[in-house]
Amino acid sequence: MKTMLILILAGVLSLNLDLLHAAPAGLADRVIEHKLANGLTVLMVERHQTPVVSINMTFGVGGVNEQVGQTGIAHLYEHMAFKGTRTVGTKDYEKEKPVLDELHRVGTELEQRQRELAKRSADLPADPGEQAAIDALQKRFKELQEQAVQYVVGNEMALLYQRHGGVGLNAATGKDLTRYMISLPSNRLPLWAAIEADRMANPVLREFYKERGVVMEERRLRNDDSPNGLLFETFTSASFRAHPYGIPTIGWESDILSLTPAATEAFFKTYYGPGRATIGIVGDINPKEVIALIESTFGKIPAAPPPPQIVTVEPPQRGERRVEVEFDAEPSLAIGFHKPGLGHPDDYVFDVIDEILTEGLTSRLYAKLVRDGRLAASVNSDANYPGVRAPNLFVLNAVPLAPHTTAEVEAAILAELDRLKTEPVSAKELERVLNNLDADMVRALRSNSGLASQLSLYQTVAGDWRYVLKVRDKVAAVTPADIQRVATQYFTKSNRTVATLVKKVAEKQLATAAPGEVRR
């Protein structure tokens, strides 16, 4: 994931590259904003080069909104949102609904009984009646699943879009938001509005248990069985003691397995109201017609009450935290420092530091660790991990190149951070970095989908899409003194969390090693 600066600056592009270097009013004049009575925000930009339109619908809900015991529910709902509605994905909803209701009731009762049975001490005698009840529920659950699947039209939403020229249908859940995107011929915009308004108003959680199993497999693949995934999950949890940024977006295994259809539906009703949504639409459109279309479809959805606010604030870190993760893989390292979130004056400075350290072949850490020093196989940094709305982390991640160790790589990284504190960045290097950022900006976005993404993104996380208009000036104003000040203030030992992936040493090796020695 590249720095938020590139994502922010990318949003400045719209009709053509000339607009990049025009006054901010150039984009401001082209973006047409409309807000529905139910709170839904629509941002539109006309681009008539091709008869295509790209849409990005972003909800201000993500992993930070989950309650204890329900981690992963935002990500699970994103999966369920593709299962259809009362009219899409079903052969006969009137007959399907009672089967689903009974299936969800039986499934919830079955899992509750199974959990209660598992908690009981092994010393207690088994209750034949309880086991018989569980067996009966399992049988009924299987029967209902077989009945329910007869009504399912698999993947109908995606197939509808595909038949009408839709491409890029996808979704993503993060800490701060959930996003749904697609591009399609502009004359198919009414189809999109009908499908998505229906999905916002009338989702049906069909195939719930099947999809929950898919999410569990995803967790095993990306977190449990992935050395990098497990490293960063442990690192993030160690970095945040209080704020929900420390919880994996995909959720903890036990929580995922405990999620129920009722809890998932309640989460949807709480957080997915139209007032939490921003739709970015860019392409071959007539804004007046688009407004009328969205008013006639999404405008029918009732407004929802404001959801609960996040009140937890991460307390200051009072000392270095170090964790090790054992895994049968090559060592790697993650170092993180707490920093302010989006909109804070120092946040722009971190974007420049990110570029200085790891972006490109001539960046400081790449040159020192990879290209010249041959200490590491790779080195990366992220100026906004794992989210942007709340105070977050500046993270550095490196993989040592054998025979070098994580300790050597860590020392080299920290030395380079200390250099930022004591040695002002030269005017020549800073100019090159800022020029590279502009070049990244040009390369990052030349598409309708990119602009739609950025407009909806910053309307959601910053509260106003116009954030993209001022960020270039803020970044361009960063001075060598700013970089020194920020590095000195934040890159401290007490503000640091370090996670290391180490190979697990077999017990047999430990037993034969000399005292004080661990063989590798």
504 and 466 within one domain: yes
164 and 248 within one domain: yes
169 and 59 within one domain: yes
Report, as an integer, the average pLDDT of 310-339: 97
Task: Provide the number of structural domains found in the chain.
Answer: 3
Summarised one tens digit per residue, pLDDT across range 412-438 is: 999 999 999 999 999 999 998 888 776
Categorize the per-residue pLDDT at 439 as very low, low, confident or very high, splitting at 50, 70 and 90: low
- Residue labelled with tokens 């299962």: 83
The last residue of one of the domains, among 264, 298, 332, is: 298
166 and 143 within one domain: no
**DSSP class of residue 513?**
S
The helix-helix angle for 467-476 and 345-358 (nearest 10°) equals 60
501 and 383 within one domain: yes
Residue 62 is predicted with a pLDDT of 98
Residue 434 is predicted with a pLDDT of 84
Residue 308 lies in a domain: no
428 and 388 within one domain: yes
Q: Is the pLDDT of residue 20 over 90?
A: no
Which one has a higher pLDDT value, 300 or 9?
Answer: 300
Residue 120 lies in a domain: yes
Residue 436 is predicted with a pLDDT of 78
Residue 306 lies in a domain: no
Residue 265 is predicted with a pLDDT of 97
- Residue labelled with tokens 């661990």: 518
What single string gives the DSSP state of each residue in 258-271?
A: H--HHHHHHHHHHH
386 and 250 within one domain: no
Q: Is the pLDDT of residue 511 over 60?
A: no
Residue 147 token pair = 């009945």
pTM of the model: 0.90
470 and 383 within one domain: yes
Summarised one tens digit per residue, pLDDT across range 92-136 is: 999 999 999 999 999 999 999 999 888 876 667 767 788 899 999
Starting at the earlier edge strand, list the strands of the sheet with 32-35. Answer: 32-35, 41-46, 277-283, 52-59, 178-185, 167-173
Residue 424's CB is within 10 A of a number of other CB atoms, namely 14
| Residue 502 structural domain | 321-512
Residue 79 token pair = 């999966």
The overall average pLDDT reported for the chain is 90
Q: Is the pLDDT of residue 25 over 70?
A: no
Residue 304 lies in a domain: no
42 and 117 within one domain: no
Q: Where are the alpha helices (DSSP H) in 156-224?
A: 156-163, 189-201, 208-219
Cβ(307)–Cβ(342) below 8 Å: no
Report, as an integer, the average pLDDT of 19-46: 80
279 and 349 within one domain: no
249 and 124 within one domain: no
Q: Pick left, alpha or beta for residue 514 (phi over 0 → left; psi -120 to 50 → alpha; otherwise beta).
A: beta
Residue 144 lies in a domain: yes
CATH of the domain at 400: 3.30.830.10
- Residue labelled with tokens 């972006």: 359
Residue 392's CB is within 10 A of a number of other CB atoms, namely 29
Residue 93 token pair = 């909803």
